[in-house]
Amino acid sequence: MKRSQNFVQAYRQAPWRKQLQLIGLFLASVVLVAVVAGIYLNVSARAGEAGRQIQVMYSEIQVAQQINEDKESQLAQLTSASTMEKRARELGFAPVDKDLVLYLDVPEYQGRPSVALAPPPGGVSASEPTLPYEYTSSLFDWAGQVFGVLARELGISATSGSR
């Protein structure tokens, strides 16, 4: 018994064991620092990549807007008054003489409406995003709604109770 106690005491007091503890502590801190640095690098690299993507997307938006303006101008050129008149003449059409126009009385016809290239002030844009109910209701609202549904399914209501 005493012999085994001596062995344990000798083990605890062994100098290499203390060194091992110090080395272990040091390695643990190195690993911790490495893990933190790794996470930081990973996050910052992803953020950097996202930033670069944003830059590229801004550039793409600009290019798309430029192309859009280009296309509008090209379309306008293809449908310009002189081009359309030339095409019409080539197809055998000619400007109508006022004496050849036949006028019909169309009830309720209000004439050609004015052009509207954008909504008037105060109008709600159709593309305006609207948040669904789930994003705006509180927990209390949600609970009330659930209990309301349950109550209806069970046939419990204020009116039924008064009968």
Decide if residue 123 touches another protein (CB under 8 A): yes
What is the closest distance, in whole angstroms, from the C-beta atom of residue 38 to another protein in the complex?
A: 17
Task: Return the percent helix, strand and coil in the chain, to nearest 5.
Answer: 70, 0, 30
Rg (CA), the chain: 40
**Residue of 52, 86, 87, 89 interacting with another protein (CB under 8 A):** 52
Tokens of 163: 């009968």
Q: For residues 45 and 42, give the distance between their C-alpha atoms in angstroms, rounded to a whole number.
A: 5
Give which of 145, 128, 127 is closest to 136, Cα–Cα: 145
**Residue of 13, 114, 130, 162 interacting with another protein (CB under 8 A):** 114
In the complex with another protein, the residue whose CB is nearer, 69 or 141, is 69
Tell me the three state secondary structure of residue 31: helix
What is the closest distance, in whole angstroms, from the C-beta atom of residue 1 to another protein in the complex?
A: 32
* Residues in contact with another protein by the rule CB under 8 A: 15, 44, 47-52, 54-55, 58, 65-67, 69-70, 72-77, 79-82, 85, 95-99, 101, 103, 105, 111-112, 114-121, 123, 125
